Structure 1
Amino acid sequence: MAILPVKLLDTSHEARDQAQDHERRLELLAKVLASGMAGQRIERTEVERACSPQTTDCLVKLLRDRGAERGLFVVVQKTSTLILQIFADLVDIRNEKLLVHKELNFRGDNDEAWRRAGEFLARQLEAAPDGASSRVR
């Protein structure tokens, strides 16, 4: 399973620039998911080189070219410091079919909250009927 870089949609309109914190937390979430689901992370630079603009068709082709059977697409929406939501799609790359869609809310915009959300999401994806077979050892 290939895990694409986690994307962020920040609609919080917070005054303080949090770009560095956001980048660190996106990386943290991707690492936690890769560890919890035995997936291979695709680096942001590879995606940027291969897909500009980053369309679904291009991302699926990139994963297919890398030999991935399944791909995990994740977006975090930050509404405020206290309210964040994760949208995750596990896709069968060969058949271009959505296998599992998960949405979860979590509270707290700090490293610990993001880590715990990633661990919970990995367990949820693994427990999903089609997600269980996504574990590759």
Structure 2
Amino acid sequence: MTGRASGIATFGAAAALLSQMIQLSPGFSAAPLTVAVADFDYFDTSGEVRDQRAEHRARMLRFTELLRESLSSQGDYHVQPLECTDPPCTPINMQPARFIDASRRSGARFVVYGGIHKMSTLVQWGDIQLLDLEADKVLFRQNVTFRGDTDEAYRRAAAFVSGSVRDALEKR
């Protein structure tokens, strides 16, 4: 082997070893993955007489904020909102193709999106999805249910969803 070929082989071996050390060593970590968390749709078919749209809008905003905060809290994910010209930034509001385009323009590798449906005065359910924008595939889809139409119920739902999304990202 020539001196140059030997040097290239040594460099290649060193790079491979360094790559393994970074992946295996707890003190080393790769750059955080970028995750966009879109706004969430909300549907109320409970038939309740009192107009609760303002309360629900505020709770959905807080739900999304809590999800973003929880995912970014440990520093292993760079979490950002999705930008669009006509909020809310959801597949239903924007149409799916425009939503995907906006997600890709954000620079995120993954996007979390979904919606919450209030079925009755006590029961709500949500459909949450995690899309890998690079691989063009849904990595995770989960239906969640929760009781109550209170700030606390939304806080608990956001914490549960955040944990589920984290698990899905770690398993990818």
Give the TM-score band, short-chain normalised: 0.7 to 0.9
TM normalised by structure 1 equals: 0.86
Summarize deviations over 1:68-93 as a string: whole Å, max 9, x none.
11101120011012000011000011
CA distance, structure 2, for counterparts of residue 40 and residue 8 of structure 1:
20
**How many residues were matched structurally?**
130
Larger relative contact order (Cα-Cα within 8 Å, sequence gap ≥ 6): 1
Summarize deviations over 1:15-67 as a string: whole Å, max 9, x none.
10001101110011101110111221225xx3516889511111010011121
Report deviation, 1:94: 2.4
Q: 1:122 to 1:53 in 2, by over 3 A?
A: closer
Report whether the alignment pairs 1:48 with 2:86. yes
Paired residue type of 2:170: A
TM normalised by structure 2 equals: 0.69
CA distance, structure 2, for counterparts of residue 132 and residue 89 of structure 1:
15
Match of 1:116 in 2: 156
2:127 to 72, 87, 102: 87
Report if aligned partners of 1:102, 1:125 keep a CA contact under 8 Å in 2.
Answer: no
Report whether the alignment pairs 1:68 with 2:133. no
Match of 2:144 in 1: 104
CA distance, structure 2, for counterparts of residue 71 and residue 34 of structure 1:
11
Question: Which stretches in structure 2 are left out of the alignment for 5+ residues?
Answer: 1-34, 73-78
CA distance, structure 2, for counterparts of residue 78 and residue 96 of structure 1:
30
Q: How large is the RMSD of aligned CA atoms in angstroms? A: 2.1
2:170 to 109, 129, 132: 132
